[in-house]
A and B are shown apart, each in its own frame.
Chain A
């Protein structure tokens, strides 16, 4: 009996601890709001010091050590995520006091939060839509859009596929468009085998699909029947295409590059000859129309916070070297300095 009483007592203790945590939570919130208030008053002086420190890297760093802290919330495209993660990781090494968090709600989900004023930066694999921009302006959110890298949407087939040398944009449209009557490869081009085409596509939620829909399908939407499989997980698409000689699929260049030993990339002809995606063709824009720019959208009101400015500045100055490391294609060097001016 005694033992049992003891057990009950310790249970009561646990409950008390739970209550304590709850009250601590409320306390914390109050602290947050006061610290926000004080940083607001400091803003004017920050801006000045920021401007003078701009061209001097070391001075900027000192600035950082003294007064940077706070949180930078980032959310948005899962395609852009590896880029932002890489920047956040390196930025965190120099500025351990700044807490950067990155989520993957998708481009659309990111803009929803961004235009509600919840985010400092939104990752996007497509430009903001008119509708989203309207929400933003309704809520008084002004922003700068920075182009950070390119991605080349890659059409891939299995390594065993020996008949495809290239596809034209029209043929792609014919294969994938909604209500398509194409069943076999023979329907695409005369002389190709009369074998059923198996298609693999990212799901409708992804920016990759959006981009494909816009550039290849003229926004008419993709077919949805027994011949096509959708997945939000690009590795599933890789496995699907790899598994059949007559399969075709598309996804970001990084996934092709990583699986180049298992897949064959299809050169695309948009009227100027067949061109395969590669860092060079994506960078100089000859891999059209499937090379796409990736963006970050920075809330202008947030740029006045020194840590957000420092982060965005660091982002645009370092993404060039980080992009290729995570499988994307950097912009030409002079483009980055051009983009950096948008932060002022």
Chain B
């Protein structure tokens, strides 16, 4: 077995109570996964990348997880990390790209991994909680809503995201944080078009939703709360992409996330995914 080149994308998070910078917990778990994987395959390298300020002290916490070196694409806050990351990653051509599901700062749309995977021509497996590699064949355990799990097989190279709230956060070791190095590379600083375009509104209190009275027997109420009831919707096994995409759009229309007709899709988010 040959060594792997594993790229991990690490962002800065925010502590929910104090707003202080911290590791993004999902990214920290992605890094832990990468380090554990690299330890099982000799010759593997973990290439950790952060786009932002190389002087941010919290970056040392990632080093404290046992990382020897962290590459920082130096750019001011509010920049769009995508162009620089794309360029950097294409040059690295990783076997595996790991990162948390979404950032805690900035746009935090969770789209970055998809866009990067697309640029690198990789498959992306979202929500990975378990990973087993044999040669270049990977078996992934994917977390689905309400605690369900699914096994997926896919071939390297590929990208995977680690979902929020899985196992505990690894504590950084002070000694390893002290030993690790941060390598800063000058990077393109293009302002994030989305953050520039959006309108900002002050926070306001929304009316509290009325709790829904649950009806039926105790077992029904329990089922409706735990989601153990009958699955709604249709299950398509191995559909052709056309049908699948049409179904997704219909569903999005049904729940009111997009306007019903395919033509009226204007949101940038859905653009990327429904391209034909």
Partners in one complex: no
Q: Which residues on B are within 8 Å of A, measured CB to CB?
A: none
